[in-house]
Structure 1
Amino acid sequence: MHNNWARYLVFFQYIGTNYRGAVKVPPNQLVRKGVQDHMEDAIRRLRPINPVSLSVSSRTDTGVHALSNSAHFDLQRMNDKPPFTEDVLVEALNFHLKAEQIRITRAHRVPDDFHARFRARSRTYVYRIALGISHHSLLPLTERDLCWNLRNQTLDVEAMREAAALLVGTQDFSSFRAVNSDIHFKSPVKTLNVASVQPGSSFVHAHFHREIPFWELTFTSRSFLYKQVRRMTGALVAVGRGQLSVPQLQEILEARDSLAYPQGLAAPANGLFLTRVDYRETDLQLSQQTSEEQFVSSGNSED
């Protein structure tokens, strides 16, 4: 392998409101780009001599946000320049992303066979809900498109927690999968490690003129089915509102059929955040020889 070639894992954040999801948008649909499109554009601005191809670990939908998604890519520099250091790479990519609501938070140089999607041990999503909001103008501006605002003043949180407990474990989540092109190729059996309902808060709760009750639903699994988190959230909120009973939610789960899920119940995209993608530390470590060879150059954001 060339000594000016490196594979990087980057963690990145974005506000998903203006993007067609995390991954690339087909050229014939470029009304709005995906986050990946903008990140690949930024990598190309670093003038690599290899074709730019980003592999994103977690495919979030249009309007869904991330506090920590991840992706890997290869970068070979021209004229035998040594690989970018991790800090310089973060600075350079953010320089070229400054017009977007996308930020690289950290980078790791990783082994040549590392894969951001397949090496991920778990992913954590948090869904944010605001209560007592009869009109969006009652929310602080910092919450615009960043939560699901409900008219309900309260939710039956204990019933929601009882229902959430039914979702934890290894089981067939077919009823919580939306239909898409992958439906016949991916197993509906997933292991949900965490499904919790906890109090949350506004991003500016200490400075806003009135108290708004917030709740956060947290889900952790190695992977999720298409729209699974939004459908689980919608069902749990329906339990909290009294629209579904806990036994009815169990019946939906046990039906193992996407058609058993009530129409119009899924939570909207704007309250959902991907908050963590976790890896084994050993999977991120380079060999000793590579470690000694890397990071010779400090570079700069325009180099």
Structure 2
Amino acid sequence: MGAGSVPARYLVYFQYLGTDFNGVAAVRGVQRAVGVQNYLEEAAERLNSVMPVKFTISSRTDAGVHALSNAAHLDIQRRSDLPPFSPEVLTEALNTHLKHPAIRVLQAFRVPSHFHARHAAISRTYLYRLATGCPRPDRLPVFERNRCWALQAHCLDVAAMQEAAQHLLGTHDFSAFQSAGSPASSPVRTLRRASVSPDPTSPFVLPEESRQLQFWSMEFESQSFLYKQVRRMTAVLVAVGLGALMPAQVKAILESRDPLGKHQSRVAPAHGLFLKSVLYEGLGPTSMQPPRRPSETQYRSHR
């Protein structure tokens, strides 16, 4: 190590289709499963850092879950005679060396050496996509498969789902929506936003199919979530939309703090879930945060 050589810390945003991965976290050892992090760190090896580069992921996603924008921090220590990479050069270099076409680095920022991608996040938003009017998953357009949860029902009671979502907003013990294996020390979380809205017609749906297939989006925003909390909340709200639950029952489920109940133990499929954004104070690709549609019905907790 040359004299005067110090690590430079970066925050990077990246996206991926999760279908081929065992989640975002790296899989160590000789297992055939692989995580998104494995490919990111393999690409970073080509940067000739003095010390090995490790990505510290902001938000872990499970196998099959996608990300429009996840984040991680990493340290790169170049030789003392070389300046630190600019964020633009780092972004281009990582994309050049990435060996999987379903991963892309979006943007990079220089951050202080004490910055932590997971602990510094002030907001995370998840998007869940549904499709109604689909008798079988193989009736979906091939370009929509593994990107939404296909429901046989021809419609959803969106008003009831929106009413039910109100019971989840605010600060609560979300034990009823937490799967076993969560590393969280406390089940208390603050859900800032929950929305249910129709999606524009998919560009991949043929005109003759568009009369039957309807797409829907659900979004959840919080500083952090429990393990599989979003997929469990989604399953319960879909049950409300299908008439299997009344909106008031969602409040009872939440207050039960029981994760093993008949309805709350159901988990929505991974392939409909997208990590939409991770936000930091004063940092982030703001162009990637589109304004919310005025017609979208939202509920906000009082803060």
TM-score by shorter chain over 0.5 = yes
Q: Which runs of 5+ in 2 are unaligned?
A: 286-303
Tell me the alpha carbon deviations over residues 140-199 of structure 1, each in whole angstroms, 9 at most, x when there is no partner. 2221100001111001111100001110000110000001052xx521100000011011
- Asked if the contact 2:177–2:265 (Cα under 8 Å) also holds between the matched residues in 1, the reply is no
Three-state SS of the structure 1 residue aligned to 2:121 is: coil
Tell me the alpha carbon deviations over residues 43-96 of structure 1, each in whole angstroms, 9 at most, x when there is no partner. 011121112211000001110000000000000123521111111111111111
Tell me the residue number matched to 2:233: 232
Tell me the residue number matched to 2:298: none
Three-state SS of the structure 1 residue aligned to 2:167 is: helix
Give the Cα separation in 1 of the matches to 2:44 and 2:207: 39
Report the Cα offset of residue 247 of structure 1.
Answer: 2.1
Three-state SS of the structure 1 residue aligned to 2:85 is: coil
- Asked if the contact 2:16–2:67 (Cα under 8 Å) also holds between the matched residues in 1, the reply is yes
Q: Give the number of aligned pairs.
A: 281
**Identity between Structure 1 and Structure 2 (%):** 50
* Cα 1:181–1:121 shift into 2, 3 Å: closer
Q: Give the alignment of 1:66-215 within 5 angstroms.
A: 66-78=67-79, 80-180=81-181, 182=183, 185-204=184-203, 209-211=208-210, 212-215=213-216
Report the Cα offset of residue 206 of structure 1.
Answer: 7.4
Tell me the residue number matched to 1:54: 55
- Asked if the contact 1:142–1:204 (Cα under 8 Å) also holds between the matched residues in 2, the reply is no
Indicate whether 1:13 and 2:15 are aligned.
yes
* Cα 1:205–1:100 shift into 2, 3 Å: closer
Three-state SS of the structure 2 residue aligned to 1:219 is: strand
Give the Cα separation in 2 of the matches to 1:34 and 1:263: 28
- Asked if the contact 1:142–1:203 (Cα under 8 Å) also holds between the matched residues in 2, the reply is no
Give the Cα separation in 2 of the matches to 1:172 and 1:201: 34
Amino acid in structure 2 at the alignment position of 1:85: S
Three-state SS of the structure 1 residue aligned to 2:143 is: helix
Three-state SS of the structure 2 residue aligned to 1:45 is: helix
Q: Which runs of 5+ in 1 are unaligned?
A: 285-303
Three-state SS of the structure 2 residue aligned to 1:250 is: helix
- Asked if the contact 1:4–1:82 (Cα under 8 Å) also holds between the matched residues in 2, the reply is no
- Asked if the contact 2:51–2:77 (Cα under 8 Å) also holds between the matched residues in 1, the reply is yes
Tell me the residue number matched to 2:288: none
